[in-house]
Amino acid sequence: MDILKNKVALITGGASGIGRATALLFAREGASVAIVDINAEGGESAVNEIEAAGGRAIFISCDVTRSEPCRQAVARTVAAFGGLDILFNNAGIIRRADVLATTEEEWDLVMDVNVKSIFLMSKYAIPQMEKRGGGVIINTGSGWGLKGGARAVSYCASKGAVTNMTRAMAIDHGGRNIRVNAICPGDTDTPMLRSEAEQLGRSEELFLADAAVRPLGRYARPAEIAAAALFLASEAASYVTGAALVVDGGGLA
């Protein structure tokens, strides 16, 4: 229960799904956790759950597509816990449409939430990590950042950018003992996955049945993706950087 003892983690998109599961797991493993999201109800609920179990957490309401709120989120985390060791850039959205059906506003929003947020949060987090002698950045990519997918052009473009951005950051900051990796989940039981059925006009039951068609015969639980994030955040991955860790039940295979 002390894999992340004395570490400080900031998790975007931490109010639900993969982010929430990771916040709970990191806290159980000894980290102090800043949950960053626009969902105040979910964020405060996660904080309450962590504190009820004896952990330390704060919720920070933040629009991760804008510079000043991101700067303030990092500053508030450092003020609350004394530093920053781990940044999990997990905030993300999806719009299920091809080029013809995607509006310019939808394209910009997906790129801002899925890509620009990583740039902004990392820009302010890295100097704080350097003060600690190093740190870890984990970016949430996707299997669709490594291969294409139907009716999800903006999402595929954004996650492809996340994968290569991760590599570039690993090169730039490895000399300061900052490891940067991506997790590429397959379909995971989150509110975002279920929203895709509605966007595509499909029944949720049939959509989720299709999501389970992969070698392991099921879609992921958020806690399983959180476990991969814990590995990358821990000393067990001390020589892992620039990697895109696929956690998809064999879907890409």
The residues assigned a catalytic role are 155
Please say whether the beta carbons of 95 and 106 come within 8 A.
yes
| Residue 246 vs residues 75, 243, 249: alpha-carbon distances, Å | 32, 9, 9
Take residue 200 and report the two structure tokens written for it.
Answer: 């595509």
Gyration radius of the chain over CA positions: 17
Q: Is 221 left (phi over 0), alpha (psi -120 to 50) or beta?
A: beta
Please say whether the beta carbons of 72 and 121 come within 8 A.
no
Q: Taking the CA of residue 211 as centre, how many other CA atoms within 13 Å lie in the half-sphere pointing to its CB?
A: 24
Dihedral sign for Cα 120, 111, 155, 191, please. Answer: positive
| Residue 77 vs residues 16, 55, 189: alpha-carbon distances, Å | 19, 15, 29
Helices (H), the chain: 17-28, 40-52, 67-81, 104-111, 117-131, 153-173, 191-200, 204-211, 222-233
Please say whether the beta carbons of 75 and 10 come within 8 A.
no
Take residue 61 and report the two structure tokens written for it.
Answer: 């309401």
